[in-house]
Amino acid sequence: MQQRNQLAPLPLHRLQGGQLWCVAATMTRGSLAQVEALARALTPSRKLFIARDNGLHEPPRIVRIRFELVQHPPQKVTRLLEWLQADARGLLRDGKSTLVFCNSIQTCRFVQHTLREQGVLALACHGGMPTRMRDAAVEQFANGTADVLICSDLMARGIDWPFVGRVLSFDAPATYHHFLHRAGRLRRGGDCITLIRRARREQDLAMMIAKRFPERTHWQVMEQQPSLGRDRLRP
């Protein structure tokens, strides 16, 4: 929540004594403190009521969570291509669109270029693109021009696409809240898959999520098989 920026243009002096409603997808302690301060300024004689839900700060209950541990970075590309170049039962032919999240503009560009080289039609949407190009990519994705959209966390909030059935995090989310926003694109259910490196931060985040939602979290480990010189997936 960014109350300062959002509320600055409002004539707050006219709201004295009125009712104040604040709605957010996530509520941190800091944002709650700001709302409480704002409520006291506008309606000092009234109490602030906070409506909570048991699902607050949780991914949708119908989302399946999966982590895959890779041994080295190139395996991320290998696994992504395996997902997107599967057979008739694979991702690109199951009627569900896919969001692929990356943590940087450079990675978004790299992933899109790599997929295109392998014959996978993938659109991109990130902060390094002009607004008109981002809007065009979003419109094409919504119209079904491509089944895959490579994006930054720019697309992790405020988007409701019922046709999206899969969220793939090529880069692990930076924080739990970033994970929540990505998984939130699957409000109607689906698979939220995250590639995890051996970095301590990424593994700690994955373990925390797995402990919090053990009944719907699955792990897989990608191993390198030296004798064959290729990667294989071990359940």
Q: What is the pLDDT of residues 215-229, one digit of tens each?
A: 999 988 866 543 333
Identity of the residue numbered 201: R
Give the model confidence (pLDDT) of 155-169 as tens digits.
998 888 889 999 999
The average confidence (pLDDT) of the chain is 81
Confidence of residue 185 (pLDDT cuts 50, 70, 90): very high
Residue of 3 and 187 predicted with greater confidence: 187
112 has pLDDT over 90: yes
Confidence of residue 230 (pLDDT cuts 50, 70, 90): very low
Mention every residue, 6+ apart, whose C-beta is less than 8 A from residue 32: 50
pLDDT score recorded for residue 104? 96
Mean pLDDT of 28-32: 73
| pTM score | 0.75
Strands 217-225 vs 230-234: parallel, antiparallel or unpaired:
antiparallel
- The 3 state secondary structure assigned to the chain is CCHHHHHCCCCHHHHCCCCCCCCCCCCCHHHHHHHHHHHHHHCCCCCCCCCCCCCCCCCCCCEEEEEEECCCCHHHHHHHHHHHCCCCCCHHHCCCEEEEECCCHHHHHHHHHHHHHCCCCEEEECCCCCHHHHHHHHHHHHCCCCCEEEECHHHCCCCCCCCEEEEEECCCCCCHHHHHHHHHHHCCCEEEEEEECCCHHHHHHHHHHHHHCHHHEEEEEEEEECCCCEEEEEC
Give me the residue spans of the domains in the chain.
18-55, 63-221
In tens, the pLDDT along 168-178 reads 999 999 999 99
- What average pLDDT does this structure show over 96-120? 94
- pLDDT tens for 41-83 read 777 766 777 776 655 678 888 899 999 999 888 899 999 988 8
- Whole-number pLDDT of residue 2: 42
Whether pLDDT at 201 is above 60: yes
Q: What is the pLDDT of residue 11?
A: 63
Check pLDDT > 80 for residue 22.
no
7's CB contacts (< 8 A; 6+ apart) are 38
Architecture of the structural domain at 63-221:
3-Layer(aba) Sandwich (3.40)
Structure tokens at 140: 């094409």
